Amino acid sequence: MTELIRARAFLLPALTVAVALLDLPGRGATLARFEYVEPHMGTKFRIVLYAPDEATADRAARRAFDRIEELNHIMSDYLATSELARLSRNSGGPPVKVSEDLFRVLAESQNIARRSDGAFDITVGPIVKRWRRARRRHALPDHESIANALEKVGYENLVLNPRGRTAHLMKPGMELDLGAVGKGYADDEVLKVLAGFGIRRVLVAGGGDIAVGDPPPGRKGWLVAVEPLNLAPRAPVRTVLLHRAAISTSGDSEQHLEIGGVRYSHVIDPRTGLALTGYRSVTVVARRGILADGLATAASVLGSEDGLKLIRRFSGAGIFYVEERPSGMVTREARFPRFLRLNSPTPSAPTATIRKSDLRAR
């Protein structure tokens, strides 16, 4: 039996442990399957791992969740005390020395920003805040406030210096937002923490951002089903078999604003300050979680043509792009691993179902 994880669905309540014993014929060692779920970073993180015993599994999972929480205190734009928030408050001032984690995430983000020609841009904070307020008030932000916010946006105004490990926000009022890469990076770090315990057969899912290590015993990989949620029922479901890779979906069914029949996404085009409109679900497979996460957002902004071009320039990356247009459903893909095409995954197979509405506590 294959293991099927739906990319956007959780059934389990917080902190549950499900154990299934699995024999490894002819190898002598027996690994058991353990599963943990905890809320972090405004979503649920789920870890599925194979370990020799429960005590080791519990200890390793605890460390992994603690690491996610530590990263949240570094990267959150919701916590006024986070390292990121402190850095933003210093915008317009001198360069600031930052932690290794933050530097790594900033550097990777700047790389995606350059290569996507600014479609991906972590300095988009001031605009994101306007659109968050718009969602709360259920009213579109006015033109002037968007124009004002746009003046503080631009990845060229974030200058990193690897020597002193500093970040320099050149303009006052700049605000960084790592919402599009933070979960992917946290997934990567979870794999590292667990490897420190000798645990490598792992799947970690932070909402719709998933990273996997080695496959479950006796299998070729982890089976992940990509379901473009809330699109028309005829929207395709793609399943992929992954090991040592990451997969992320951008295109939110939950965090959006609907006014006058138009659906505004929580993903912004930093070049116009406007939220993306319409239904779209962009899934990227990459070697690391931070890349899958960031590139999925970047490709959403770029659209089907340029999005595919961007992904082709990253080795080991693939994309599955679905957009519903008035003229009909547009599905495009490049180097996306092909495993099975299922219209309705077998009901017995999924170990979990992520429903986006469960994910966002904010």
Q: Which residue shows structure tokens 């070049």? A: 271
Alpha helices in 11-121 (DSSP H): 54-75, 83-89, 100-115
Tokens describing residue 339: 């495993």
Separation between Cα atoms, residue 178 and residue 187, nearest integer Å: 14
Residue 228 binds what, of Mg ion, ligand ADP, none (CB under 5 to 8 Å, by partner type)? Answer: none
34 binds, among Mg ion, ligand ADP, none (CB under 5 to 8 A by kind): none
Q: Which of ligand ADP, Mg ion, none binds 106 (CB below 5-8 Å, type-dependent)?
A: none
Q: Which of 270, 303 has the CB closer to ligand ADP?
A: 270
DSSP state of 157: G
**How far, in Å, CA of 281 to CA of 227, rounded?**
9
Residue 291 is a binding residue for ligand ADP (CB under 6 A): no
Spatial distance between the Cα atoms of 308 and 239, rounded to a whole number of angstroms = 19
What is residue 117's DSSP assignment?
T
Q: Which stretch binds ligand ADP (CB under 6 A): 57-65, 85-93, 114-122, 167-175?
A: 114-122
Q: Return the one option of ligand ADP, Mg ion, none that residue 177 interacts with (CB less than 5 to 8 A, by type).
A: ligand ADP
Bridge partners (DSSP) of residue 48 are: 35, 203
CB-based closest residue to Mg ion? 297
Q: Strand, helix or coil at 37?
A: strand
Q: Strands across the sheet with 20-22, in order?
A: 20-22, 31-40, 43-51, 202-206, 209-212, 245-250, 279-286, 318-325, 328-334
State which residue has the least CB distance to ligand ADP: 179
Q: Which of 5, 84, 122, 241 binds ligand ADP (CB under 6 A)?
A: 122
Does residue 207 belong to the site contacting ligand ADP (CB under 6 A)?
Answer: yes
Of these, 88, 110, 253, 297, which contacts Mg ion (CB under 5 A)? 297
Q: Which stretch binds ligand ADP (CB under 6 A): 22-30, 206-214, 223-231, 324-332?
A: 206-214
Return phi, psi of residue 212, to 5°: -130, 150
Q: Which of 109, 110, 250, 300 binds Mg ion (CB under 5 A)?
A: 250
Among 68, 204, 268, 352, binds ligand ADP (CB under 6 A): 268
Among 126, 141, 154, 208, which residue interacts with ligand ADP (rule: CB under 6 A)? 208
Measure CA 305 to chain center: 22
Q: Considering only residues 91, 281, 283, 297, which one is a binding residue for ligand ADP as defined by CB under 6 A?
A: 297
Distance of CA 243 to the CA centre of its chain: 17
Euclidean distance between CA atoms 38 and 103, whole angstroms: 26
Residues near ligand ADP (CB under 6 A) are 120-122, 124, 128, 177, 179-180, 207-209, 250, 252, 266-268, 270, 293, 297, 301
